[in-house]
Chain A
Amino acid sequence: MNKTGHATHDHTTSSERSELMLLVLLAGLIAVYMIIRYGGHWGENDTATFTRAIRSVADTGMLSPGPDYGVYTNGYNYSALVVFLMNLCGLTLADLQLYVAPLLMVWLVFPAWLAYRELTGTARGASLATVIILTQPELLFVLLRGTHEKFTRGLMLLCLYLLMRSLRSRQAPAYFAGYVLAFYLVGYALITSNNLMAMSFTIATGTALGFVWVISRRQVSPSQSAGITIRRLGYITTTLSILSFVFLFYIYTPALGGFLLLKTMWEQTSSLVLDTGTAASNPYAVVNSLWIHPLVYVVLSLANWLLLIASATVWIVQGLNWWRRRPGPQTINELLLWAYYGAFAVQCAVSIVVDVSGALASNLQLRVFPSFALLAAPLVAKYLVDARPKSMRLRRIGNAALWLGLGVLALLSTLKATSDPLLSNKWFFYTPGEMRALDWAEVALQQQGLWLEYDERLFAAERIRNGASALDMYPDWGEVDPGTQDFLISGVTHSRSVRLAQPLPIEADSFLTYDNGQAQIYHRRPRTPYQP
């Protein structure tokens, strides 16, 4: 290599390093913003649920402590990891969930970059794709929470990376064996993190196999690597299915319990394919009530829409070209990226149909979309890297629009992912006074119902804050339970009542039983001999 070549290579390596550092910085800043925005005074339902599951594991030293404990029925990985970190760092569970969990999302940058380098074929494509996924609000939302998802998504990307590497290392048996072994280890870790999402990945692999087969059949001279890839995808689908089966039926039986609770075969099949475990009924109309204006939702979700439209266009054009036997896929990686995208797009489409029908759950799209986005980002990134308008002026405008646009999208997506109360009607924050009022209520209102606002905001916060210790009272929120006689009303509750145009549930002649300046507790005046 000549001197110029060395210089270019050095420049490239240095630039790659800089980009990677910037990506880590970007992910770190998003996490830091989440922490600083609420000063650690935040709570969220799924994080609270996981806090309870982690508490069960920490208290008993068992991954599946039994029916009397709250466990996360779809996997134990995150609970075990947090317990390990608690012991390693000497941090409390609450501190880990509130301060460390958002920061842990930074790790996703590495498997994402590695996988995208394989899928796009270039480091530039990898960096661009990683920036794109860090501007996806739906993905950021699940990464910032104290739940398994940051690891589940990362492990999925790691699986893709190891799959690609193993396909490229067939000529080096030692490497090949290492990558295959590593793939199945990571695959099992994915199953232990969330067996439903792992099954979703397995099904996607099977679907991708179908896409690869279809395209390879259309080629004039199918490559040998296509056949090998199809076989590998078949082995992977089969092996991961067996591992999931063993996990479900023998290793972690709470997962089976949750699975069996789904009443119909349709529900069970759908949950396996579409990665959900809960049933609800609330299709997309909820958007209007979650944001101060529907337009705000559209603007904050711009990154989702742009990615959806751009990736779908690229995928369709690419697919049509290959179908028409114009130049086929240049590499097997390109074909695999296209096939996996198609597989997750199918899941996404089915989930939207299921959502609208209300047959299984209302938020499937929310669960499947991040997986879809993880494959859409490299598809678009690869197109952007490959696209090179001849006009320098056009290139400059395009480049400027891209970096400016992604910068703005990063800002908007962060606001959406953190559910900023200035824009969102779903609030995660609390005030210290509200927690002091709850502390008082836990002593003074034992075994009494206490209304805690229009949603689970304070209950989730309290559950995380106290490390999921049992509450000796009956927390109540939303529509008032008839048995509830006490109500926690704070300044935030007043603000929320105005924002939601919901009246406060107290009557004017209620007794004021507690007041710390920031929050009050009222007791409803008894109307019968049997009301306390």
Chain B
Amino acid sequence: MNIRTAINSGTISLLALMLAWGFALCIPARAAAADAPIPCQVTSDTPFGSEGRRQMQLNCDLAERGALDDRLTIITGSGSAGSPATWPAVADLDDAVWIFDYQGNSTVELIVTFHRTGSALVAELYDAQQDPNRLNYTLNDGEVTFNNQLSPTMRVTAPGGWWTRGELINFNLDISVDGLLDAAFDMRSRLRKYVKTDGIVDFVIRIRDTNENGRPDYDWRTVNPPVEELRALQRTFFTVNAKDNEAPLVPALPWPYLGKETYGYLTASAHNTSQPPIQVNWDTGTITAVGEFVTSRGNDAQWFVYSFEEVKEGQMNWPNFESPFAWYDLAEDQDRQPELAVRLGYHWADDVLFVKGQYPRPINFVRYSWDQDNNGYWDYKLGLLGSHEVTSTVAVDNVRMGIVPYEQLPQWVIERSWPVATFVAAEGVRARGEGIYEWDPSSWLTEQYYTGRSDSPFPPPESPSDDKRNLRVIPAGFRGEYQLDLGGKLWLYISAIDHKLHLLRAQEGVWNIDEHSTMRYANPDGDPYLDQWRYIVGGELQSELNLSNGYLVYSARDEVSIKRVQVSPASAQLQPPHGHAEWLALGEKLASERPAFKPTDLRAMLEQFAGPSWHFPNASARDFRPDGNGFRFVLELQPGFHASDSDPLNLAGLEAGPYVVTFDGSFHVRPLTPPALSLALTLQPLEGAGSAVNAPLLMHAHAINTGLEDARNLTLVAEAHHGEKSIEITRQSVDVLSQNPVDIDLTWQPTVAGTWLVEVRLEDQTGYGKTNATLPIEAPVSEEGSQQTILSASTGHGQRLVAYLVLVALALSAGLAVRLNRARAEVEAEP
């Protein structure tokens, strides 16, 4: 392509873009209903029946394949003779029958009957459902009679008595659906076993346009689930356009709601025009979807409620599950591309859908995602867990729901305390959809840990993993941080070290850069800021940076640098954006903080600060951790190392080898000594308790490491032995840090009487026992299990004798009855 061509094509593209944009802006609020884009040609127009009806044959292009191969037969209502027979003027939508024969093969795919009931207009749709004989019919004096007994798959009612008025489309519709269609989110697959066209309404859909401007305001769907799935399926799908800016519908047929298969149930993409929601697969003759009239996702000013509890008119409703899921135009650019999506999941206290109704507080689970650079992709998200009761009420027409109002939802989230928070940044991926799904609070975290049912926030290894929500891993391109005991409002900060946005008070984090390389973040001193960065490639630590007590300590494979710095860990602290101004402010702050160095270059992070520094080549550091009021780490001096002048560590003169460096206001260096572990086990006396069979005992294990090297990744194993019998009491991970005793309580019950020997030991990762301790325990025979005790407990002393007497008496009376019986037999047998 030469330059001129490129300029020309660029100009044309630009012009086309401008035209398209201008067209989009100029689309009138009232869509062009009458200008049906599907081409049709009237081929015949004949009187039909005795009541002035007409039968018209048209050739059409229903699936827009470029040829008028499809046949449409329209039988108009009585008294329509004399009307012009041109398309689309022939369209009679008051009293008519439309018969669609796709590809003109004499097999009917769809029949729509239009009639008036009272003041309302009704359209009934019958589809072939892949059965060429299903719609066999007979025409009698203008009336269609089906040869099979059929129920309409859909019945659309316009209570106002009109479908279109000029260009204006009526969006006040009541729709009932009888059959397996995409008529509610994700319901088709779930209802597959239960639903068919059988005369029972499966979906009820109400569309409302309160100001009748041709843009629907809300779309309310109710699923009538089968009895078996009454509790397991969502029943209400309620979508509201908050700014009356629904994309206008471009009809395909004079009846504007009907068209070919397009977007299915929903489209998440921003769109400036809408397509007909009632979609037909013309190949199979099946109505496959009643798509959203009000888009739930492809716009920037809407909210929806998906609830297991059915929402009903004329009563106060308390929806559960997603209530609401709301979308916002933070950029205020009205581009239909949201910059904020807030998903508030809610279960009220004792909701049977949450841990079988056995949680006495409400539960909120929040996904708060925003697009900071307004490029159509999500950049950050917060995942939250809390127990805030929703007390506000929202009314939509005559429907009242106990949910947080759309306008208040972001503020509602920001101003509350959240016990559990995750923060995720999309660093190298383009996140789309309903927000950033990664690290939403997992079901284990929510249902087990947060409810107190489990001691551990992590599921046991044998549990099925949910990678997107497992806090141990995060997909490539995402950076995640979390705090499981936040207990406060949400604050973010921009780190002065790496200049990235972080969660204040995060306990740790990980950035999966590209599956091969990872940056791990930690907060060893428990202050509000992350202060350890570890860059790992291929599973091997490449470099590490720690900030503690005004020092930055950098280490790589063969160098260590220490720099005294005067720096606040955060260059800015702010709340997540919940409005246009906050969104702009955060964007500006992030832009001004953008670093010049690579985000994995920890040395550059060190060097960005001024201050006295000391560099130690041929050395490495490890096991950095807080120690008292300072910190400590292990320094490995390799042959050839040398210290710089004025080295505060005074390394000059030391031989190569490992040393422990501690800082408590000044540096101290001591040769490293290996872990020296010892273990003691004692029985903790409990008031009123003694050792007995099935009586819980409390034992106390005390481990200490007198060496200078930390002993990490050990396993404490406790076992009870009785003869050949051996019972494992516990097996748990433990670190025994240098000079930091560890105390562990153990609880156990002897299961049989006799002498037991309880043993505890510390094993390394290979299972090698590092040290152990034993404790003999005598468990006497329990009186609790004796027959005398059971008899006493089960019978009152005064009743015991009586009970025995009754038992004997009943045996005697049985025997006596039989004896009498046999005696009578002898008497009767006498001659």
The answer to whether A33 has its CB under 8 Å from any CB of chain B is: yes
Q: Contacts A427-B794, A431-B793 given; indicate if A406 touches B814 (C-beta within 8 A).
A: yes
Among listed A74-82, A338-346, A353-361, A489-497, interface-contacting one: A489-497
Find out whether the CB atom of B419 lies under 8 angstroms from the CB atom of A407. no
- B686-728 to A contact mask, C-beta < 8 Å, 1/0: 1001000111111000000000000000000000000000000
- Assuming the contacts A33-B803, A447-B360, asked whether A508 and B815 have C-beta atoms less than 8 A apart, the reply is no
Contact A15 B820 (CB under 8 A): yes
The 8 Å CB contact of A406, one of B452, B453, B694, B815, is: B815
Instruction: Tell me whether A411 and B793 are in contact (CB under 8 A).
Output: no
Distance A494 CA – B826 CA, assembled complex (angstroms): 55
CA distance A409 to B809 in the complex (A): 13
Q: Is the CB of A12 within 8 A of B813?
A: no
The chain A residue sitting closest to B748, CB to CB, is A508
**Interface contact A19-B817, CB-CB below 8 Å:** yes
Indicate which residue in A11, A25, A415, A485 contacts B827 across the interface (CB closer than 8 Å). Answer: A11
A26 adjacent to chain B (CB < 8 Å):
yes
Assess whether B87 is interfacial by the CB under 8 Å rule. no
- Residues of chain B with a CB closer than 8 A to A385's CB: 825
Over the window 64-75 of chain A, the binary record of Cβ atoms lying under 8 Å from chain B Cβ atoms (1 yes, 0 no) is 000000000000
Contacts of B349 in A (CB 8 A): 447
CB contact between B784 and one of A15, A30, A449, A495 (< 8 Å): that residue: A495
Chain B residue contacts of A509, Cβ below 8 A? 698, 745, 747
Q: Which of B454, B697, B826 contacts A482 (CB 8 A)?
A: B454
Given A12-B824, A38-B794, are A485 and B452 neighbors across the interface (CB < 8 Å)?
yes
* Stretch from B45-53, B443-451, B607-615, B768-776 at the A interface: B443-451
**A532 beta carbon closer than 8 Å to chain B:** yes
In the complex the two chains form, is B359's CB within 8 Å of A483's CB? yes
Chain B residues numbered 776-831 whose CB sits less than 8 Å from any CB in chain A: 782, 784-785, 787, 789-791, 793-796, 799, 802-803, 806-829
Q: Is B358 an interface residue (CB 8 A)?
A: yes
Q: Is A90 an interface residue (CB 8 A)?
A: no
- Judging by beta carbons under 8 Å apart, are B684 and A508 in contact? yes
B827 near A124 with CB under 8 A, answer no
* CB nearest to B684 among chain A residues: A508
Alpha-carbon gap, A269 to B452, bound state (A)? 44
Interface string of A100-133 (1 = CB under 8 A from B): 0000000000000000000000001001100100
- Provide the bound-state CA to CA distance between A127 and B451, in Å: 62
A459 to B451, CA, bound (A): 24
Output the residue of B355, B793, B827 with the most chain A CB within 10 A: B793
Residue ID in chain B nearest A446 by CB atoms: B360
CA distance A501 to B725 in the complex (A): 14
Q: Tell me whether A36 and B802 are in contact (CB under 8 A).
A: yes
Q: Across the interface, which residues of A come within 8 angstroms of B816, CB to CB?
A: 22, 403
Known A124-B825, A447-B350; judge A414-B795 contact (CB<8 A).
Answer: no
Q: Is the CB of A411 within 8 A of B807?
A: yes
Given contacts A15-B824, A33-B803, A127-B817, contact A495 B811 (CB under 8 A): no
- A367-411 interface with B by 8 A CB criterion: 385, 388, 395, 399, 402-404, 406-411
A403 touches B819 (CB 8 A): yes
Q: B794 contacts A421, CB within 8 Å? A: yes
Closest residue of chain B to A529 (Cβ to Cβ) is B485
Asked whether A38 lies within 8 Å of B795 as measured between CB atoms, the reply is: yes
- Chain B residues with CB under 8 Å of A33's CB are 803, 806-807, 810
Contact call A410/B358, Cβ cutoff below 8 A: no
Contact A503 B820 (CB under 8 A): no
Q: Which residues from 358 to 397 on chain B have a C-beta closer than 8 Å to any C-beta of chain A?
A: 358-360
Closest A residue, CB atoms, query B359 = A483
Cβ-defined contact, A497 with B485, below 8 A: no
Q: Evaluate contact between A482 and B810: CB separation under 8 angstroms.
A: no
Tell me the residues in window 26-44 of chain A with beta carbons closer than 8 Å to chain B beta carbons: 26, 29-30, 32-33, 36-39
Q: Is the CB of B817 within 8 A of A483?
A: no
Contacts of A415 in B (CB 8 A): 807
Does B224 reach chain A (CB closer than 8 Å)?
Answer: no
- A362 CB, min distance to chain B CBs, angstroms: 23
Question: In the bound complex, how far is the Cα of B827 from the Cα of A11, in angstroms?
Answer: 9
B777 to chain A, nearest CB (A): 12
Q: Which residues of chain B are near A503, meaning CB under 8 Å?
A: 694, 749, 751
Give A234 to B825 CA distance when docked, in angstroms: 37
Contact of A39 among B748, B799, B825 (CB under 8 A): B799
Chain B residues with Cβ below 8 Å from A22 are 813, 816-817, 820
Q: Could you tell me if A19 and B821 are in contact, using CB atoms closer than 8 angstroms?
A: yes
Q: Which residues of A contact B795 (CB under 8 A)?
A: 37-39
Is the Cβ of A403 less than 8 Å from the Cβ of B818? Answer: yes
Task: Give CA–CA (A23, B784) in the complex, Å.
Answer: 39
Report B-chain residues with C-beta under 8 Å of the C-beta of A403: 815-816, 818-819, 822
Which residues on B sit within 8 Å (CB–CB) of A429? 793-794
- Within 8 Å CB of A32, what residues of B? 806
Across the interface, which residues of B come within 8 angstroms of A124, CB to CB?
821, 824-825, 828
- Tell me whether B25 is interfacial, beta carbon within 8 Å: no
Produce 1/0 per residue, B481-492, CB < 8 A to A. 000010100000
Residues in A neighbouring B227, C-beta threshold 8 A: 257, 260
C-alpha spacing A402/B817, complex, angstroms: 11
Q: In the assembled complex, which residues on chain A have CB atoms less than 8 Å from the CB atom of B789?
A: 491, 495
Q: Chain A residues with Cβ under 8 A from B784's Cβ?
A: 491, 494-495, 497-498
A504-B696 in contact given A447-B350, A527-B455 (Cβ < 8 Å)? yes
Of the candidates B451, B747, B813, the one having the most CB atoms from chain A within 10 angstroms of its own CB is B813
One of B689, B782, B796 near A498 (C-beta < 8 A): B782
A350 close to chain B: CB less than 8 A: no
Q: Does the CB pair B819–A399 fall under 8 Å?
A: yes
B359 and A508 within 8 A (CB): no
A447, closest chain B residue (CB): B360
Specify the chain A residue showing the minimal Cβ separation from B794.
A429
Q: Is A231 an interface residue (CB 8 A)?
A: no
Q: Which residue of A lies closest to B818 (CB)?
A: A403
Instruction: Determine if A508 and B689 form an interchain contact, defined as CB atoms under 8 angstroms apart.
Output: yes
A481 touches B358 (CB 8 A): yes
Q: Could you say which of A19, A409, A421, A507 contacts B747, with CB atoms under 8 Å apart?
A: A507
Knowing A19-B821, A33-B806, A402-B822, the reply to whether A508 touches B697 (Cβ < 8 A) is yes
Residue in chain B with minimal CB distance to A501? B751
Q: Is the CB of B785 within 8 A of A406?
A: no
Q: Which residues of B contact A447 (CB under 8 A)?
A: 349-350, 360
A422 interface residue per 8 A CB criterion: yes
- B359 proximity list for chain A (CB < 8 A): 483
- The answer for the CA separation of A76 and B239 in the assembled complex, in Å, is 45
Report the separation of the CA atoms of residues A8 and B830 in the bound assembly, to the nearest whole angstrom: 10
A301 CB within 8 Å of chain B: no
CA distance A16 to B698 in the complex (A): 68
Given known contacts A402-B822, A403-B822, what 11 new A-B pairs fall within 8 Å (CB)? A12-B828, A15-B824, A19-B821, A19-B824, A26-B813, A39-B796, A124-B828, A403-B815, A485-B452, A491-B789, A508-B689
Residues of B within 8 A of A (CB): 227-228, 349-350, 355, 358-360, 419, 448-455, 485, 487, 684, 686, 689, 693-698, 745, 747-749, 751-752, 782, 784-785, 787, 789-791, 793-796, 799, 802-803, 806-829
A-B contact pairs, 20 of them (CB 8 A): A12-B827, A15-B827, A29-B810, A29-B813, A37-B803, A263-B228, A406-B814, A407-B815, A408-B811, A415-B807, A481-B453, A482-B448, A483-B358, A491-B784, A491-B789, A492-B793, A495-B793, A504-B695, A508-B697, A510-B696
Question: 6 closest pairs, A vs B, by CB?
Answer: A498-B785, A407-B815, A508-B698, A482-B453, A29-B810, A447-B360
